[in-house]
Amino acid sequence: MSIVTHLFTLIGAAVGSAFAWKLLQPEFIQRSPSRFLASAEKGRDGRPPVALVTGASAGIGVAFARQLARAGYDLVLVARRKDRLDALAASLRQQHTIEAHALPADLANADDIERVAGVAADVSEAGRLDLLINNAGFGTVGKYADLPFQSQLDMLHVHVTATMRLTKAALPGMLRRGRGGIINVASTAGWYPLPGNATYSATKRYLINFSESLQAELDGSGVCVQVLCPGFTYSEFHDREPYRASGFRRERLPAFMWQTAEEVAEASLNALGREVVCIPGVHNRAIALIGNFTPRALVNAAWQRISPV
């Protein structure tokens, strides 16, 4: 075997090892309790820390709320469906002896965004807002040219504008306190351009870049930012009308590609303060990493095999 062959073999082994380490390392991080949660501090008034969770009426938002209630956090729960928020808040108060406040709001609406931002700012200024989770989101199915523009504008407001505004409201108090966490829920869809989900994948990509840039700005401040990028998750997301009408079926995808909302929320909270980009599940990390080296034509062809559009 020539020296050149040996050299390429060593380079290949090094690259493969680095790839495998990058792929597998977060699994150990996400199984161990977060140092951030373990060191949660009470506010200046001696009351428990507060987490504000948007999109808290279903799926990953509910899973975040339940896990944070078990950790002793008081909660501000934000979503459109008041009946669900009230029921969840009452259940968590009874089970965990915490304060849980329902704050009904539609984050596609500018006035509602400002109202929630006002609450976030007040709690942050009081030194109690320990965690902001920008989880609210929804998807549409169809070609951009065929979809109502208002639905795409609403998605931009929910995913991007609300995240920016609530983060801006929360940061001053967190920075003065020298502590805080912000989790922005994106998606593995943010790593790819997705035909049939053009606005969705674009807004999720924004959240990835925004979160990484913001964490770089906040380095050393005591405030940590994470962007959570789940893949296919068992929740009501794919049960909504656009997906049902398009013929999307979970069984079209292998079972290993799905995670529960509880698994996603647990991985996120455990990785907070350790990883800026949290991609739960080895399969999802592989999808994101491989996507960086795969020609877009192949990505689009593969997506169209499972996409309902």
Mean pLDDT of the chain: 83
| Banded pLDDT at 15 (limits 50, 70, 90) | very low
Q: State percent of the chain over pLDDT 90.
A: 61
Q: Using 50, 70 and 90 to split pLDDT, how confident is the model at 10?
A: very low
Q: 73, 144, 192, 200: which one is catalytic? A: 200
Could you tell me which residues come within 8 angstroms of residue 45 by beta carbon, excluding any fewer than 6 positions away?
126, 127, 128
pLDDT band at 94 (very low <50, low <70, confident <90, very high): very high
Q: How confident is the model at residue 52 (pLDDT cuts 50, 70, 90)?
A: very high
pLDDT digits (tens, 9 = 90+) for 196-249: 899 999 999 999 999 999 999 999 999 999 999 997 665 655 555 555 555 555
| CA quadruple 280, 232, 86, 94: dihedral sign | negative
Cβ(122)–Cβ(171) below 8 Å: no
Average pLDDT estimate for 60-72: 95
Question: What pLDDT was estimated at residue 281?
Answer: 82
Question: What pLDDT shows up at residue 8?
Answer: 41
pLDDT tens, residue by residue, 99-146: 999 999 999 999 999 999 999 999 999 999 999 999 999 989 899 999
The whole-number pLDDT of residue 164 equals 98
The pLDDT of residue 256 is above 60? no
Give percent of the chain with pLDDT exceeding 70. Answer: 71
Q: How confident is the model at residue 288 (pLDDT cuts 50, 70, 90)?
A: confident
Distance, in Å, from the CA atom of 5 to the CA atom of 57, rounded to the nearest integer, reads 58
Residues 271, 34: Cα–Cα separation, whole Å: 6
The pLDDT of residue 266? 93
Q: Is 200 a catalytic residue?
A: yes
Would you say residue 307 has pLDDT above 80? no
Instruction: Tell me the angle at which helices 59-70 and 261-271 cross, rounded to the nearest 10 degrees.
Output: 50
**With 0-12 CB in 10 A as exposed, 13-18 as middle and 19+ as buried, what is 147?**
middle
167: buried, middle or exposed (CB in 10 Å: 19+, 13-18, 0-12)?
buried
Phi, psi (rounded to 5 degrees) for 209: -65, -40
Question: Which pLDDT score, from 0 to 100, does residue 27 have?
Answer: 56
Query: What pLDDT score was predicted for residue 66?
Result: 95
| Tokens found for residue 159 | 């995913």
Asked if residues 115 and 89 have their Cβ atoms less than 8 Å apart, the reply is no
Model pLDDT, residue 213:
98
pLDDT at 99: 96
Domain 52-306 grouped into CATH 3.40.50.720: yes
- pLDDT value of residue 43: 61
What integer pLDDT is reported at residue 7 of this predicted model? 43
